[in-house]
Every structure is written in structure tokens, then in C-alpha cells.
Structure 1
Amino acid sequence: MRTAPVITTPRLALRPHRMDDMEAFWAFYQSPRAVYVGPPRNRTHLFYGLSSEIVAWDWMGHGAWAIDTAEGDFIGQVAITQPPHFPEREIGWTLFEGFEGKGYAAEAATAALNWAWEQGLDTLVSYITPENIRSRALAERLGAVLDLDAPLPEGETPDETVVYRHSPDGDGSPEAYA
């Protein structure tokens, strides 16, 4: 079975998920920080959701990474996914309470984007709730542009979701960060 590759940055390690990551996710989904994401109904649904992001590596060649600090703290997730209701591959990110505002999400997303471009992907999108100003700002810092013509996930409307498009030209290439 193919698993997420380990990617390191100066302050972070992107690694495959482990079973013990579930408790931190459960706590996240019970907090106000989860207001812009659809929470699982129970721990079984959390298990199914996290499992799908893990098995996506084997089935699709991309999926989710856990984000650890260099000190070993599990602080969130960055993922390249395309569940059945998404018309395109998405890069998304989540940080847990107390780790925002330190540049960790940008660092992890940049590492994931560089990995994607090295794999030959030519575009990714980020589906973001319009009111999620922090995620929108991060997408723009990463070089993504608002794509008003992009198809939305099945069942979603422009009032619920905006689409930011990432490309190697906008986000940089691996050579740009060498």
C-alpha cells in the first residue's frame, strides 16, 4: 500500500497519519475553529473520513499529511484530495488551536504544492467558504487566484464556496524555492 511521503521543511514534518491523530481531530471538530468545515457526526464518521484521506494515497497517488512541528507537536493537516463530489483536486489545510498566526499553514501548503508540481500536476484548487477570510488570505499569499468560472463541488453554490486556483506559475516551482 502506498502511503504519504514524509516531507520536511525547516520547522515542520509532513507525515502519514497515525491512529492516535484521531483524538486531536475530534477535539478540533468540537471547537469553534471547525466552523467552516463539515464536522463528522460521530467518531465513526471521523474514522471513515480520515481513513479515506489515508487510502487516497494508494488509490489516487495523493491524500493527506499530518503536520508536526520540529519539536514533535501534531498541529494539523494539509491534504491534496478529490473525493467523488469534487470536480477537481483540492489542496486544503487545517491548523489546530494555538498554532495559527505562525506561518505553519503557509509552510506546510507550500511544501505540499511543491510536491504536487514535482509529480507533474498542473493545477489544484482550494474550495473555501466565502466568510473564511484567513483561508482566503492564505490562498492568495500562496499565489492562488480567485477562479469564478471553476466548477463547484456537487451540491454547493457560490454563496457557500469560492474557488481559488493554484498553478506552478502562481505558486512557484520547486526551483523557485531552491
Structure 2
Amino acid sequence: MTTAPTLTGDGLRLRPHVIDDMEAFWAFYQSPRAAFMDRPSNRTHLWYGFASEVGSWPLTGMGGWGIEIGGQVAGQVAITHPPHFAEPELGWFLLESFEGKGIAFEAARLALDYARTTMTPASLVSYIHRDNARSIALAKRLGGTHDPAAKAHDADDVVYRYEVRP
């Protein structure tokens, strides 16, 4: 696969990233909403992270999707397994104006369904900062279970696991 597949859900679309997504992502990372995430320190670092989400698709068969609603980017959902992660991760973030509408759940559910029908890992995890109550609630709503035995990405993370293959 050379690019992210397009997936369609209830009122949203997961699509390959486009360069215009970067400006909205930069604004997100500058906001307090990104407090629990590894933030890029400058636009060059944003480019590195953004390009890795796009470039992961041909390299590993997984990566990031832009969440699109009504022609606007609403955030990102991704299934990634960079070398510094112990396991493949399901991750997400939403831009502020799209929060509280069930969009993150729908986008993450689409990505999880894609993993269950197309990918090979036995499970996926979400590395979530222990104080990020909203993402923990979303992980639970998606059927994730807290896995205290899993290796966390950062010392402040908790790990939630989703079964992909029985």
C-alpha cells in the first residue's frame, strides 16, 4: 500500500493527509488541548511527525488518517508502530471545534474495524497520559481494557489494549 485508504463512517471520512492539514495541526499543538501529547517544538519537527504519519503507510502498511467532516480536517486517527513503540498503537486527537460530538469515537472505531479486517497484529494499544481522562474514557468506550503489564511509551502513560485477532 502506498497511501492511507479512504474509509467512510457516519458523517465523517478518514482520508490520506494533505499538506493543508499541517496548519490546523500546528494550531492544535500550540493549544492547551495538546498538553498530554508529545508536542513538536517547531514547524520543522511538526513536519517530521506529519511526514512520518504519511510515510508509514508504504513502509509498514499503517499510519495516520486525516479525519474530515464537511470538507474540513477535524483531527487525526492513526494506527502506527514506529520503532520506539513496543506495540502497534491506535491514537487520535481532535481539533477543539469538533470535540464533544462523537467524532473521535467514530473515527477510532473505523480505524479499529480496519485493523480487524485488514491488519495482522493480535492487538493494538493506546498509550494515554494517566491524567487524560477524556482519552481514557474513549479507550474504554472502544472496548479497550487497561493493561498494567504492558510496556508504556512514557512513564506517565497508561496502556489500553484492544483485541484485533482472536
TM bin, normalised by shorter chain, reads over 0.9
The normalised TM-score by structure 1 is: 0.89
Aligned to 1:175: none
Give the distance between the partners of 1:168 and 1:44, measured in 2 at CA.
35
Map 1:1-178 → 2, pairs under 5 A: 2-69=2-69, 71-119=70-118, 120-153=120-153, 156-157=154-155, 160-168=156-164
Q: Deviations over 1:128-153 (max 9, x none)?
A: 00000000000000000000001122
Instruction: Tell me by how many angstroms 1:121 deviates.
Output: 3.1
Seen in structure 2, the aligned counterparts of structure 1 residues 86 and 169 have a Cα distance that, compared at 3 Å, is closer
Instruction: Tell me by how many angstroms 1:81 deviates.
Output: 0.8
Seen in structure 2, the aligned counterparts of structure 1 residues 88 and 29 have a Cα distance that, compared at 3 Å, is same
- 2:68 partner SS: strand
Aligned residues: 165
Q: Deviations over 1:15-72 (max 9, x none)?
A: 0001111100000011111101111111011001000111100000000000001x11
Give the distance between the partners of 1:94 and 1:56, measured in 2 at CA.
18
The normalised TM-score by structure 2 is: 0.96
Report the identity percentage: 54
Q: Deviations over 1:78-114 (max 9, x none)?
A: 0001122100000000000111110000000000000
- What's the C-alpha RMSD, in Å, of the aligned pairs? 1.4
- 1:135 partner SS: helix
- Extract unaligned runs of 5+ from structure 1: 171-178
